[in-house]
Structure 1
């Protein structure tokens, strides 16, 4: 079910550490509880995938890390620096080390500026010389598979969705960040182009030593790119672990329901299990206790009265649930070796679409 806690955090070696993050918005209808005491960390060189239904708070979580959305409370540490304590000047400087790629590739680009100016916006703000900007533009466009000569003078309206997303990625890379937050970077793209952008992000992560937070609602995409997976529901953490563990043996009823809702080609009705029933409750007045209890087949009185805490259900796999689903015991030291490895999503050949 959905709760709080820090049992799954892995120590001081994390590049990014978030504890008890709360983000709330005041509206005319009341206070929207977008993110409620969510904790996670990301180790250097790791990709953390954050997945959940629309409205679960995953994008708000990513934006809060960069303080693009106001943090109500909680602690955010990047390389042991307390982000919530920085003033605006210090935060602008730190954003050179933390960049974000947004869902709408065309909408995230200034329509009046050519590609060569768009990709060096961060360097221009930082006061880099014209020579430095020109060199960086050629370098990052080449890194994302775009010809400097062909694309540098084009305006965003002349780009396809995939090309626009490559430009957005190049813009993020120009300032040489350590952390890249990808907020639904492929959801607006055709399926074939999605795979090309996923390949690109993986290649850049490997070649540049990036640490990545990858936010998406597509379970297959998250499984393909992630080293660890965090499942969210209505502003709360539900489950955390490796994709091998979470996808093969989900401990949380919500994770199980999400996986069962994914279309399966060999299933009679196209799905492997019952659909998730009911609508997502309003974040203006979330359920008491466990926020998933109104849609959970295992819910009881305890779920209504007491919020579950994050607890380890097997080595390296955590769930916030009073009644977690059974998962197999794995011998000490074997990690996920005894679990079946998920089949990756087929990836077509690369292109600059």
Structure 2
């Protein structure tokens, strides 16, 4: 009777992706395949009211084409579901649903592993860097203590100002540890990039120097600030620096060059190494989840990096030549000079 339509209906009925079609005018579910039925086992199949209440808490009748959110996630019956909504005609909505519980769990594990690897570098940097302001603070307070009765108020104030400056340096280092919390919400603001970079590189410098890796920075004077979450940019740059460090293993004169420029309304950060490089075929798969060339790699480092940058309206691209080196380019929105925050 309906060979063409029935063939397609049978295909849709048996695919592993959940499909639900809503007729919002008649208030009926015109189609729900087996996968969608299994995903919502506690709801009677094609129960318009129950399904719409779960999937459209804002009321399905009020949804307009321009208001349709896509994609969305839903916690249902101890599972995490991901779904996208499409308007196929006036009054009809199609939902494509999949169970992303395992994918989200693997991403969380990979991100936790990634955070721990990065935290190792941060701890090494802090152990070395915190000694400098601590010694300076100890010296300043020691001199002040011995001469408190001889110094003028002006001299005492100088020593206190110096002490407060060293304390603020230690506060930043300790804050760097607090920032390694993958569950914190984004806090995007105007950030002084000169200050950010000045605080970032001491965290990795000591470990890179032990490996005889030279770090060279070239920052354009017209770069002032970016509209970012500094915690995210710190983790992104740390990921890239660690990858560059791995690529430089065995190089005769290992070097990483970091440049920063402004073009139109974007800040461009280039991180270039003269390491082993990668092939064109490898470059095609770099941002593909679970792809890795490292024996202990998770294959999610770069995909997570891209995801984090996208949350800040940023982007990342990679160009490389085998046996010559790699350049990673990050772009983030330029910030406003007024109301600049110190990273």
More helix by proportion, 1 or 2?
2
TM-score (structure 1 length as normaliser): 0.22
The higher-RCO structure (CA 8 Å, 6+ apart) is 1
TM-score normalised by L of structure 2 = 0.23
